[in-house]
Structures are given as structure tokens and as C-alpha cells.
Structure 1
């Protein structure tokens, strides 16, 4: 109802209903609390809604509910962060109420789990540009960078380090990978360190972050600048893709495909040389290595490996490798491998990338190019009709 302007006005005039909804945030049943947060968040999209929540005695009701427990306190933070993300004005209301400075205070609290949750909340706040500006003014980025440096001596750092790395990873993608990595070198060093860590939780976050950085040209260049450090990480990613736990194998394949992907307009000579050199760092025989992974009986590994082939399929050096690797084009055109819907879709995407490339017809030759176009025209789920029935009848 609060999404309807007329209903919202009625509800804003009814103090008891609003008080009851705020109290519902403290309910044991999480589904009830979620609905309450959702309703109040929608109400705060208007100035009268913000005034009612933050400039009337309902503010005290929120603070009273907040004092119920750690869990409920974080639900109020969740509401405040949601409201703050809408606009600089709504952030101003939340900051003035004291909620945000209280949340920031939790970042250095004694309870490590509470600290980890607070980092997650602040990461959500950083999704909006005005949120990032506010956090920068409050010195949060520097504080987080120092927390990464101080993690060496903290035995509990593994509980909150992944959150800090995710924070900077998101920051890099939204602002500038180069700027973030140069301003906060502790972040980049920690990502490389975590990728080589024996702890699976650390490795997973590092892989996701490297993949995220690798989605942009600037991110690729930052990683390339790291030289030998990044080469060691790439080798580790390749090892994990071949022999890690299944979940880490999938995340490695995903990160590698993001690192190797170049949009058509990004394919300059330098960047093509960069992705080609990274591909060859994966193994002595990277084509065979990825193809071997794709033939294993795990659909998610099959799709992850095909994704890497799709990444290099639009690049000239990738197409040359494909045509010079024995039986590789037969492998691409073979519909009998990968029988799940996801696998068929992944193969179809690979074929589409090859057909859509301006150089494919010349590099692959007309015979393969025509077969690929036929595959594309028939669609991902085409099944060749089997003629056995007709033969039996004839007999």
C-alpha cells in the first residue's frame, strides 16, 4: 500500500500504524521483519516520509527497537542503509539521526562477527556515488586499508578480511581500478596473497575479486603491471581450475574467462598481446587443458571451460589456436557433448561468438564457417533425426 501515493499519505498520518510497523522490525519471524523494512524503505522515498521517520518521535521508537538485540540492531542498519542509498538528501537524514556514525563505530568494535557484518553494510552503502563520497569524507577507505594492513597480527582477521577485499573490489569497478589499486596498495597485495592462501574461503574471494577487476581494460592493465606477482596468481588459478575443490574450480574458470574477455572495440594490438600471453601462462598446452576440463562429468565445469573458449573466440589469436589444435573444431561442432540445457546454451554461445567475429571466416576457412552458421541457424537444442525406424520398415 505504501507504494501508492494516496495510501502513503493516509499511513503517514497514522502514527500508531507506523509505530507498529517499526516494532515489527524486532519480531522474531524474519519474514515479518523483512516486510517491515521494505514498507518503511518505500515510505522514505518522499520528503514527508523522511520527516516522519527521522524528525518525529518515531525516531525514538526506532532507537528503542534497535536496543532489543544485536540481530535487530542490524535490521535497523539495513533499513538505514537502504534509505541512505536512494539520494544524497535521504543520506543526510540518516546521517543526522546518528545511525550511520553508530554503524561506522561498529567497524572497530571488539566483536569480530559484528565487525564483519558492519563491513558488509558499509559495502552496500558504497554502491551509490553519494554513499561513496560520504564514506570518503568520513575516512572509511583509509580505515579499511589500515585494517587490511593490521590483519597480519589479528588471529581473527579471516572473519572480516573477505568483506574488506569485496569492499575495495566493488569500489575499483565503480570508480577506477587504477586509482583504487594505487591509492590503497594494501588491497591489491592482499588479493594476490589470498589467491595463494591455503584457506578455501580466502581463495574464493580472491578469485571473484580478480575476475571483477579483469572485466575492465583498466583492471587488466593494473594486473599486468604487477608483473611476476600476477603471473604467480595466474598459475595458481590454472592449478585450481584443474585440481581444486569443485566450487573453487568453477570460480577459477569464471575468473579466467573474465580476465581473457575483450569486447570488439577493446581489441587493440597491446590488449590482444596481453590476453594471449595470459592464456599461455595457464599451461604448456592451454587448449588441451581447458578441453580436458570441459569433458569431465560436471555440468558447471563443462560450462566454465566453454566460457573460456567463448572469451578467446572473438580474438584473432584465439581463432588461430582453435583451427591449429587437432580436432578442436569437431569438438565445437559436436552436439553429443554436454546434454544439460546450460551446457547446450554455453556451446551455442561459443558458436555464436565465432560466427559473429569479422575474422572467423578467413581464419577458420569456409568449410567450418558454413557448418558453424548452420549450427547457429538450427539453434542450441537441435537434435539430428535418427533414420533407424525407416530402415526397419524397409527390411
Structure 2
């Protein structure tokens, strides 16, 4: 296949406006399997394709980008840096965003390779251009630049190059472009700081992280909201959480939650504060977080009863997150009537209102009542059963009614609740005692989307995998469920096929 490509390259180099020839080359390249493409293009020069990027003709530029994208991805990072470094650097200065993204993508591959990265570490000009791409107007260009710089920072040599050279000044200069770009740099710093305690140390010593923390209590409400999101990302790592605790950030955010009632603009940043502690509780300890920062737990309950759908939605997500762990379930149970009131609100929200809110409510309920087999102690089974039965006098019928409504996302969310109930003995008792429920499970005609079929299959699997299902449901139902599982989620009976063909 190398000969036709070489021939096409000669044709392209001989024509001033080779749109058709470029299209032919693109087609030829797409016809070669990726596994074989490297052998077909290695050793050939593609200077003519790079040279054709110097035009105002958008179609020509697009074809060249498509061609180069396929060729360069087939080549090793080491080969790229040895043969195309100047061309890639030129791409960073190209007026087309697509060309910049192409160049940044390949540079990202190079800096992630331990053998290919060295020439780039010694080339501050190319790294300077990558840094300035973070300040480009097009978000796609900035994202690729952030990705490349993050990969570069995976090594000590990369960290030293970015933070202990004149490139540090370039990063600080880029921050001054505008608020949007400043937060892109913060995003980069959080990416780097999250890699290890050592990389966090580089970001702290360069003052980027301390500047981010100052934004938490700044006067600009929207900037404050963005800063909270960034700090939450940093808290996803243990060394990040330890650093934030040392800096008193948890106490600061708790105080911001307390002061939210007297701030008329708190609705802009309060959801972020709650998400911060919700994530913190799951990563550390729900009990410890709720006991140490009671303002968080109180605010979640308050927001769950709030008429504002934004506040309610965040509270539901947070409660689902907390209730997904045994410790979180126990913390919520200890609040007594407070949580009972929230469950009653969730029952109402699941039955009526906007579809998105209903789905979020159902997802939260499924997390709250889920128990893994090893978690099924007598106390915890009694807890999940009591919560489920609080939703309605006939909760199985209530959820089944939701599942029959003509909204696929509601259907799947309702099935996930049944999948949460299914492995628990009390849930199986409800299933067998609810008229028509076993027939509902076995009915393959309900829910025709792939997602619905997958959700039903997951429900059947969760029943069959339970050690108590055969005894509680009876051997006849259990064998039918095992047959359903063996046939798979997309099984269609021969009778159904013949019947359908006849109707046509």
C-alpha cells in the first residue's frame, strides 16, 4: 500500500489546488487498517501536506488536518519528535483552531512518552507556545493545551521545567488574560496537584494554589462558585484533602454554609459548597464529616425541602451519595423525623413534576435502599425496608406505575429501584405478594429501548443471584427468571417474530 500513497503525494505536490487529490489520499489512508498504517507511512515525508496548511481555503485545511491526524496517530511519539517537531511547532501558531488542536494532540503524545519527551523539555519555545494556547479563545484548543501540560507534569523533569524556569512567568502572564483563562490555569494546577504530594508542593510553592483558595471568599460570586468546584476536584485525592484541612479550608466552607442564609446571592455558590462536603463524606467518613460540620447536614435537609428545583436537585444527589454507603445510611437514620420528612418529599417528587427531577429522585432512592449481600444484616434490612415503605402505602405499585409512563429515562430509573430491592428478602416478599408483579418482570414487551432492556436484564440478574429468591418466589418463578437470564436481554421468541411478520 506504500506505493499508491507515495504516488498520490507526488500528484498533490504537482498541483496548485489539489482538493480532489487530497480527498483521494484521505480515502486511501482510511482504507488501510490502523494496525498496518504505520508500516505504510513510516519513512515517507509529508512536507507537502504540511505546506498545504498555509492557505485560507478552509476545505483544503480540513482535508490536510484529517490526513495528518490519521498519519501522525499511526506513528510512534519518538518518531514524531525526531521527524516532525518543527512542523508541530508551526501548527501551534496556525490561525486554524483545528490545526492547533492537531499539533497539541500530537505534542501531548510526545510529552507522555518517557523517551520522546526529552527534546521537548529542552525546547522552551515550543512549551511556551503550548502554555499560551491555554489562553486561546477556542475552548477545544485550551483543553488540549491543558492536557499536554498535565501529561508533561507526570515526571519530576517536567515539573522542574514548568515551575523552575522562566516558563513559570509565562503561566502567570497567561492567567492575566481574563477570568476565564485564569480558571483554565487553575484547572491545570489542580490537575497537576492531584497527581502526587510532590506535584502539589510545586503548585503550592508557585503560589497558584494559595491564589485559588483566596478566590473562595472573593467578592465576585460567580468566581467564588468556580473556585469551589476547583477545590472540590483537589479534594478527590488524600494528599489534597490533607492540604486543604491544614489550610483550614473545610472550616472556611462550613462557615460559608452557615452564612448563606444572610447572603442574597448564596444560591449561586451554595450548591457547590454542599457538593464539596458530599464528596468529602464519601471519600473520608460520612459520620465524621456530618458530626464535625453539622451545618452541612442541616443545609442538605433544608435544601431537600426547598421549592427551588436547583437546591432540591443538589440535595437529592447529595443524599443519594451519602446513602450509598452503610455508614451514610446509619447517619441519616439517626436524624429521625428530619429524614422521614425528606423521604416523604422524595415520594411526592418521584410521582409528579419535571421528568429530570423525577429521575434524580428515583436515582437517589435507589442508592438509599441498595444493600450489597454482605451488608444485609437484620438491622440494615429493617432500615431499607422501612424507608421503602415510607414512600407509599403500596410502594411496589407506585414505582411500577412510574415505570409504565412513556419516558424511557423514568422507566429505567424505576427498574433500577426494583433492582435495588430485588436482592433483599423483604423486597422479594413484596414482589411475590404484589399481584401481577412477576408477570411484569417477565414481560419483554415493556421498554423497547436498549437501555430499558439492559435495565430489565439487570433486575432479573439481581433476583437470580440472591440466595433467598428460589425459596421466597417459588421454583416456578425462579426457573422462568433463570431462563430469561440465559436467553439474554435482547431475546425475541420465534412465535413473536412470526406473529409480527404476519401483521405486516
**CA offsets, 1:143-201, max 9 Å, x none?**
00000000000011000011011100000000000000000000011111111111111
Shift of 1:44: 0.9
1:283 and 2:392 aligned: yes
Measure, in 2, the Cα distance between the counterparts of 1:102 and 1:85: 17
**CA offsets, 1:79-110, max 9 Å, x none?**
10000000000000100000000000101110
Q: CA RMSD in A?
A: 1.3
Matches within 5 A, 1:316-335: 316-335=425-444
Measure, in 2, the Cα distance between the counterparts of 1:290 and 1:275: 16
Shift of 1:19: 1.1
Distance 1:136 1:304, change over 3 A: same
Matches within 5 A, 1:190-339: 190-339=299-448
Aligned partner of 2:210 among 58, 78, 101: 101
In the TM superposition, structure 1's runs of 4+ consecutive aligned residues that sit over 3 Å from their partners are: 387-390
Measure, in 2, the Cα distance between the counterparts of 1:32 and 1:300: 34
Runs of at least 5 residues in structure 1 that lack an aligned partner in the other structure? none
Distance 1:118 1:388, change over 3 A: closer
Query: Residue 5 of structure 1 aligns to a residue in which SS?
Result: coil
Matches within 5 A, 1:84-123: 84-123=193-232
1:14 and 2:133 aligned: no
1:68 maps to what in 2? 177
For structure 1, which segment, 187-196 or 1-10, has the greater mean C-alpha deviation from structure 2 after superposition? Answer: 1-10
For structure 1, which segment, 97-106 or 377-386, has the greater mean C-alpha deviation from structure 2 after superposition? Answer: 377-386
With the length of structure 2 as denominator, give the TM-score of the two structures: 0.77
Measure, in 2, the Cα distance between the counterparts of 1:381 and 1:4: 43
Measure, in 2, the Cα distance between the counterparts of 1:30 and 1:218: 41
1:376 and 2:376 aligned: no
Measure, in 2, the Cα distance between the counterparts of 1:212 and 1:132: 18
Query: Residue 386 of structure 1 aligns to a residue in which SS?
Result: helix
Query: Residue 82 of structure 1 aligns to a residue in which SS?
Result: helix
Distance 1:389 1:91, change over 3 A: closer
Quick check: which has more Rg, 1 or 2? 2
Runs of at least 5 residues in structure 2 that lack an aligned partner in the other structure? 1-109
Asked which structure has the greater RCO (Cα within 8 Å, sep 6+), the reply is 1
Aligned partner of 2:165 among 52, 56, 63: 56
1:4 and 2:113 aligned: yes
With the length of structure 1 as denominator, give the TM-score of the two structures: 0.97
**Number of matched residues?**
392
Measure, in 2, the Cα distance between the counterparts of 1:48 and 1:373: 57
